[in-house]
């Protein structure tokens, strides 16, 4: 029994944002590093030279980027050190949360939408 719980501890993680117990592998078998429900992650690998190594901050999903290949990436910002990272969208990620994240800039532009009425 001790081996089973050690194995399950390695193959799952608890989301730092919503608390969901998440499989470390997506439905396509590829390792995942963000919650499929809320898209948040944990900062475990520092990419910026001289930055705090493995700061363990929460990574907020702030945007979606679409590559020339058509692949979608979740853009994360660490709430502790502000580092930005991107991670591939997985097939079992919450599609509603993905779309809300993708269209947020259109729904909340930095200028008044009324300006379009006079164009």
pLDDT computed for residue 2 by the predictor: 42
DSSP strand E in the chain: where?
A: 12-14, 21-23, 41-42, 58-66, 72-78, 84-88
Give pLDDT tens digits for 80-109: 888 899 999 999 999 999 999 999 988 888
Which residues pair with residue 74 across a beta bridge? 64, 87
94: β partners:
none
Please write the tens of the pLDDT for every residue from 27-65: 999 988 899 999 999 887 666 666 556 677 899 999 999
Q: Where are the domains of the chain?
A: 8-108
For residues 9 and 39, the model is more confident at 39
- % helix, strand, coil for the chain, step of 5: 25, 25, 50
- Return the pLDDT at 4: 44
């Amino acid at each position: 029994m001790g081996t089973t719980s050690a194995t399950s501890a390695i193959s799952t993680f608890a989301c730092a944002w919503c608390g969901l117990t998440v499989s470390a592998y997506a439905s396509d078998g590829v390792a995942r590093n963000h919650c499929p429900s809320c898209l948040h992650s944990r900062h475990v690998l520092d990419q910026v030279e001289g930055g705090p190594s493995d700061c363990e901050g929460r990574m907020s999903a702030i945007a979606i980027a679409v590559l020339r290949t058509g692949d979608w990436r979740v853009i994360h910002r660490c709430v502790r050190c502000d580092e930005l990272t991107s991670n591939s969208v997985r097939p079992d990620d919450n599609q509603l949360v993905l779309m809300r994240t993708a269209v947020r800039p259109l729904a909340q532009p930095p200028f008044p939408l009324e300006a379009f009425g006079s164009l």
